[in-house]
Amino acid sequence: MTRIPSPVTSSFRRKSALLGAVAVLALGGTLAQTTYFAPQAQALTSSDASAGPGSFADVVDAVRGAVVSVKVDMEEKTSDESAPNMPKLAPGDPMERFFRQFGPRGEFAPHGGQMHKGIALGSGFIISQDGYIVTNNHVVENATNVTVKLTDGTSLPAKVVGTDKKTDLALLKITKAGTYPFVKFAPSSPRVGDWVIAVGNPFGLGGTVTAGIVSARGRDIGSGPYDDYLQIDAPVNRGNSGGPTFNAKGEVVGVNTAIYSPSGGSVGIGFDIPVEIARKVVGELESHGSVTRGWIGVEIQPVSHGIAESLGLKTEKGALIAETQSDAPAAKAGLKSGDVITSVNGKDIADPRELARTIAGISPDQQVNIGYVRDGATKTVDIKLGTLPNNEQASLEHGATTAPEDLAKFGMTLAPAQSVAGAGKDGVVISDLDPNGTAAQKGLRTGDVILEAAGKTVTSPDDVSKAVQDAAKNGRKAVLLRVKTSNGTRFVALGVHPAG
């Protein structure tokens, strides 16, 4: 189970599979339309709805047999840097045998690190009569052997059919032929306020049932570009990773994957991969062993208030293209930096994260209609999606950058990029920066290169100064700069004071 330390931060601490790992959500490709059936559980009733249901026993009896404990033998190689006390020895060195016997814990690996063996515990649930099991990727990551234990205590061998790190989902298959109890996915996500029941293997104790309600939907906890979690208050703990969350009909509505906790135990805030994501990803893992996602090849960033002002936009909605990748679908279709994507297939796009999820949720080679704004005019273009490379994700840059030399009020000095070694040939580089100045507060750093100001290419500090002055004269509150940083290219709106 992934634990988010208190206070919540945008990055998770990576632990063993028992504690969890980063869960990155994404929708993907053409998915197998597999339908899973299960015994019907009796719906919960209550004579007093405000008091909640009288008992969850009927639902638990119907689903408990399909929930399993997952035990993983794992082996992970660590780098030399993770073991600073281990000397680097050449193969055959006389000291190698000594450190193999008395050195740091783990199998000695003289060629770049150590092999660490361990055991991880998690949860999972059976979704088909022949023994397919859903769990978290971080539970079975680095697995050398997987065993699942049924509620009656029977231990069975299982194999990993496929994993998807971006959604933290994995599909297993019991290798022993048989007929197994199973549950099915719900047709839709629950509403906020609906009762839910979590079943899993917390702290390795075996089948444990907890209940609560859906506290929120669409949670972004900073784990990746596709975050769209259900938040539940049913207590889940370490070892619940990969376990199911059920609705009152005994249907799976989520997969437990993360918790917010200052101590590692439940404080009533858990996060589930929602059913619509789990169903699609699991279907593709069963069919292909991996997941493919749509891709257009752009770096995108939010439309801030300043950027909206500088572009003359009426709202701050949409995703601003900071850079298009050469030969990518977006570039081939004519999209370019400075365009603001506002819709996909007629559906409004609120922000970069929604654009990333939407595009990733459409299969490669499909044609989509992209609505965008350029120079104040709304346009559309049809794009044939490519396939998201395995080592890439849609870039969600939350950045900043900019500044001219003679405008000391911004706290920065500029120089032609060609005059500074390593800055490249294009644009102007920030050669000096006041850490307390406006530019620094915007996120600009020494070494950032301004490529464009107000949509025009700049080659000297005077070009940037003129763009700022023109924006002020024209009553603009900001000038939009396109800046290249060590993390990529992005836009930043630099505020200006209109001339009297």
**Alpha-carbon gap, residue 173 to 150, rounded angstroms:** 13
Q: Quick one: 413 exposed, middle or buried, by C-beta within 10 A (0-12, 13-18, 19+)?
A: buried
Residue 105 and residue 85: Cα distance in Å, rounded? 12
3-class DSSP assignment, residue 148:
strand
What pLDDT digit, counting tens, does each position of 55-96 carry?
Answer: 899 999 999 999 999 999 987 665 444 444 545 555 555 554
Q: Is the pLDDT of residue 106 over 70?
A: no
Catalytic residue among 128, 164, 168, 189: 168
Average pLDDT value for residue range 351-364: 89
| H or E element at residue 198 | strand 195-200
Q: Do 161 and 290 meet the contact criterion of CB atoms below 8 Å apart?
A: no
Q: Please give the CATH number for the structural domain made up of 1-43+53-291.
A: 2.40.10.120
Q: Which DSSP letter does residue 54 get? A: S
Residues of the chain with CATH 2.30.42.10: 294-396, 408-495
Side chain identity, residue 438: T
* pLDDT grade for 32, boundaries at 50, 70 and 90: very low
**DSSP characters for 407-466?**
-GGG-EEEEEGGGSTTS-SSSEEEEEE-TTSHHHHTT--TT-EEEEETTEE--SHHHHHH
CATH number of 294-396, picked from 2.30.42.10, 2.40.50.100, 3.30.450.20, 1.20.1250.40: 2.30.42.10
- Residues 235-245, mean pLDDT to the nearest whole number: 91
Is 111 a known active-site residue? Answer: no
| Residue pLDDT, tens place only, 308-328 | 888 888 889 999 998 888 889
Among left, alpha and beta (phi > 0; psi -120 to 50; other), residue 334 is left
* Ranges in the chain annotated CATH 2.40.10.120: 1-43+53-291
For the 408-495 domain, the top CATH level (class) is: mainly beta
How many CB atoms are located within 10 Å of the residue 496 CB?
Answer: 25
Catalytic residue among 241, 266, 337, 343: 241
CA–CA gap between residue 499 and residue 497 (Å, rounded): 6
Whether 497 is catalytic is: no
Burial of 48 (0-12, 13-18, 19+ CB in 10 A): exposed
Q: Which SS3 state, helix, strand or coil, does residue 330 take?
A: helix
Average pLDDT over residues 94-122: 56
Active site residue 128: no
Q: Please answer whether residues 67 and 200 qualify as being in contact, where contact means their C-beta atoms are separated by less than 8 angstroms.
A: yes
The pLDDT tens digits of the residues spanning 378-434 come to 999 999 999 987 654 433 333 333 333 445 677 887 878 776 666 677 888 887 777
Q: Give me the catalytic one of 116, 138, 164, 233.
A: 138
Q: Per residue in 151-191, pLDDT tens?
A: 999 999 999 999 998 889 999 999 999 999 999 999 999 99
| Side chain identity, residue 166 | K
- The answer to whether the beta carbons of residues 259 and 270 sit under 8 Å apart is yes
Cβ atoms within 10 Å, residue 381: 15
pLDDT of residue 2: 60
- Which residue, chain included where needed, has tokens 């290219």? 489
Per-residue pLDDT band for 365 (boundaries 50, 70, 90) equals very high
Report CA 126 to chain centroid distance, whole Å. Answer: 25
Widest Cα–Cα separation across the chain: 82
Q: How many CB atoms lie within 10 A of CB 74?
A: 20
